[in-house]
Structure 1
Amino acid sequence: MRTVLDRDLVEAFEQTETTMHRQHLARYVTYEPGGDFADMSRDGGQALFAGHLSPLSYASGFGLPCRGNENDLAAIESFYDQFDMPARIEVTSFSDPTWLSVLAHHGYCLDHFTHVWYKPLCSRPRHFFPPVGSIEIVEENTPLVSQWAHIVASGFKIDGPPSLDDITFATCFLQHDSSTGVLAKVHGVWGAAAAISIQGPIAMLFAASTQLTHRNQGLHHMLIAKRLEMAAEAHCEWAIIQTDPGSATERHASELGFVMGYTKAMMVAPMATS
C-alpha cells in the first residue's frame, strides 16, 4: 500500500468527495422536487447547484486531473449564470498551474482555505480509543437519524436554531449507501454527531458537530477515533478529513495520526466579492 501522497491519490480523495456530494444532492432533490437543483460534468470536473446558500453549490475537480482551460471556465460560468449566481470554484495545491492562471487572469479571488488530512490504515481493525465511563459512542440507526440530523444541523447554524430545511439537508447525508452516522452520548444526553463515507479503499470523515453545552469534553476526538475504527473494520486503506486551518479538528486529527496532505482554496468570481 502506498504511504506517500501523490497526484493520483489526491485525485482519488477528491473523487470520493465528489461522489458523496452527488449522492447527497440526488437524495435532497427527492425532498424538494420543484427546487432549482442541477449538476454539470465536464473533463473530470463537476459543478453543482443546490441553492444559493448551499455549501454544495460550487465547481470542483477542474485542473485535476485535466488541465482546465478557458472553455471550462466559460462552461462553469454559464452553468451558474442560469441561477443568477457568481461562480465558486475549488482548486487544490495539486491543481494544474494552467488552470490557476486562467482563474487569476479572470480576476477570481480567494474566499477561504481548507486543509485535507490523510491517514494510512492498517488492514486489520484497531481500537483507537478506550471506553470512558460517562461517554457512549454509537452508530446511528433508523430511530436515531432525527437526533443525528438535529445535532449536525445545529452545529452548522450560527444565527439561531436550525430550520426544517437545515435538518432535512443534514438527514440526506445518511440516506445513501456509502455513509453512516455516529453519535456521542454523555450522561444519557446526545451531545455530538458525525459521519463517515466509505467508498472502496477510502473513508471520508465529515459532518462533525458538538452541541455547545458538551464541548471541551473530548467528544469530537472520540468521534474521529470511532470512525477510524469503522474504516479499519471495513478494510479501508486511507482515511481523510477536511478541516478549517487552526481548528480544534486539526489538533484532534494530528493526535490521532493524520498528516496534513494538501490545501484547497475556494475561488470566487469578481462580482461575488464586490
Structure 2
Amino acid sequence: MGLFNNIDLASEIENIKIKGTKEYIADRKKISPLYECDYLALNGKGCAFCTENYFFSVGFGIKEEVLMADIELIENFALNRKISSRMHFEVTPYSDPLFMTLLQEKGYTLDHFLSVWVLDLEAWAPTAASFKSDEVSIIKVAPDQAYEWAKTVASGIAEDNTATEGSIESVRCFFNVPDTAAFLVKENGKSAAGGFIMWNGQLSELFLTSTIDSHRGKGYQNLLIAERMKFAKSRGCKYLTATTKPNNTSARNMERNGFKLAYNKAIMKSPSLNSVKN
C-alpha cells in the first residue's frame, strides 16, 4: 500500500480517529452519566461528534455518497445539544466533490486546514539514539501514573500553562481507551512532556503530545515521537500517522522524523445553526 493517492489508507486514517473518539466518549459516559458529549454514526458514511464546546464530523464523503439529508440530520444532532452553534466537517481530498458542493450550498465556509502525515514503518529502521542525558528519561505510563501524565499533557496544552481538574480529567480518560499507550518524559525526576499513541490493525496514530512551557526547546517532542515510532513498529504496525496544523513546530517535527505529508484536510464551518433552515 502506497502512502499517496491512496483512498484506502486515507479511509483507515479517518476511521482510527472515529474509533478512538467514539471509545473515549463511551468511557467518559460510563464514568460520569451526566457527561453531555455524544456521537452520531451514519451507516458507515462517517461520524459526527459533540464534545464540550465543539461539533465536528469525520470520514464523510470518502467511500459513500453524502446526501443533503445526512448533513441536515447531523446539524439537527448538534443543534439539539445547545452547546455550540456551529458544525465543522473535516473534508479530505478523497471526498466526493458533490459533498463539498452540498456544504457550500448550506453556507459552509473554510475555517482552517489540517495536515495529515504518514510514516512507512516497514521501510523505517530506528537509528542509534542521539539524545543522551542522565537527567532525562522516558517511560511508558503505568495506570498509577495516569493522573501525572494527564496533568503534564493538559499543562502543556493550556495557554497559561495551568491545567484545571476538568482539563486533566479530559486527558486522563484517553488512558482508558483500548489499544493505546501513554509516554512521559521526565527531567531530573519531574514530568516535562507527554504523548499518546493508538493503534488499529496495521495503523497507529500519534496525538496528545505536549511539553510544559518551562521545558520547551529541549527536543522532548522529537524524543516522544521517536519512542512511539519504535513502539508502533514493535507491535507490527505498518503505518504511523499524525495530524498537525500546517507549517508549525509539530509539522516540522514530523518531517524531521521522516514522516511524509499524505494530504491536507479542509475544515468547513457552518453558519450559525440557529439560523439554518432545514
Q: Using structure 2 for the length normalisation, give the TM-score.
A: 0.91
- In the TM superposition, 1:121-140 aligns within 5 A as 121-122=121-122, 126-127=126-127, 129-133=129-133, 134-140=135-141
Amino acid at match of 1:170: V
Cα pair distance change 1:81/1:16, threshold 3 Å:
same
Q: Residue in 1 aligned with 2:187?
A: 186
The 8 Å contact of residues 174 and 181 in structure 1, kept in 2 or not, is answered as yes
- CA shift at 1:32, angstroms? 2.5
The 8 Å contact of residues 123 and 236 in structure 1, kept in 2 or not, is answered as no
Q: Residue in 2 aligned with 1:229?
A: 230
Cα pair distance change 1:46/1:188, threshold 3 Å:
same
Q: Does 1:94 align with 2:103?
A: no
Q: Residue in 2 aligned with 1:200?
A: 201
Distance, in Å, in 2 between the alignment partners of 1:168 and 1:30 is 14
Q: Does 1:65 align with 2:63?
A: yes
The 8 Å contact of residues 110 and 266 in structure 1, kept in 2 or not, is answered as yes
Query: Which is worse superposed, 179-188 or 214-223?
Result: 179-188
What secondary structure is seen at the aligned counterpart in 2 of 1:185? strand
Query: Which is worse superposed, 241-250 or 119-128?
Result: 119-128
% identical equivalent positions: 27
Q: Residue in 2 aligned with 1:105?
A: 105
Amino acid at match of 1:62: F
- CA shift at 1:131, angstroms? 4.6
- In the TM superposition, 1:169-184 aligns within 5 A as 169-184=170-185
Amino acid at match of 1:175: N
Count residues with an aligned counterpart.
Answer: 271
Amino acid at match of 1:14: E
Deviations 1:113-162 (A, max 9, x none): 11000011128973573451132111111221111100111122225622
Distance, in Å, in 2 between the alignment partners of 1:210 and 1:128 is 24
Q: Residue in 1 aligned with 2:213?
A: 212
Query: Which is worse superposed, 118-127 or 106-115?
Result: 118-127
Distance, in Å, in 2 between the alignment partners of 1:58 and 1:98 is 19
The 8 Å contact of residues 129 and 225 in structure 1, kept in 2 or not, is answered as no
Cα pair distance change 1:184/1:3, threshold 3 Å:
same
Deviations 1:38-82 (A, max 9, x none): 22111421111132x25xx31111112212121111111111111
Structure 1 runs of 4+ with >6 Å offset: none
Query: Which is worse superposed, 121-130 or 31-40?
Result: 121-130
Distance, in Å, in 2 between the alignment partners of 1:24 and 1:101 is 32
Distance, in Å, in 2 between the alignment partners of 1:264 and 1:124 is 25
Amino acid at match of 1:87: M
Distance, in Å, in 2 between the alignment partners of 1:59 and 1:9 is 19
The 8 Å contact of residues 121 and 237 in structure 2, kept in 1 or not, is answered as yes
- CA shift at 1:29, angstroms? 1.4
Distance, in Å, in 1 between the alignment partners of 2:142 and 2:121 is 26
The 8 Å contact of residues 180 and 197 in structure 1, kept in 2 or not, is answered as yes
- CA shift at 1:264, angstroms? 1.4
Deviations 1:12-43 (A, max 9, x none): 11101110111111111123212323221114
Amino acid at match of 1:59: S
Q: Residue in 2 aligned with 1:82?
A: 80
Q: Using structure 1 for the length normalisation, give the TM-score.
A: 0.92
Q: Does 1:252 align with 2:253?
A: yes
Amino acid at match of 2:177: H
Distance, in Å, in 2 between the alignment partners of 1:110 and 1:90 is 10
Distance, in Å, in 2 between the alignment partners of 1:262 and 1:177 is 27
Amino acid at match of 2:72: A
CA RMSD of aligned residues (A): 2.0
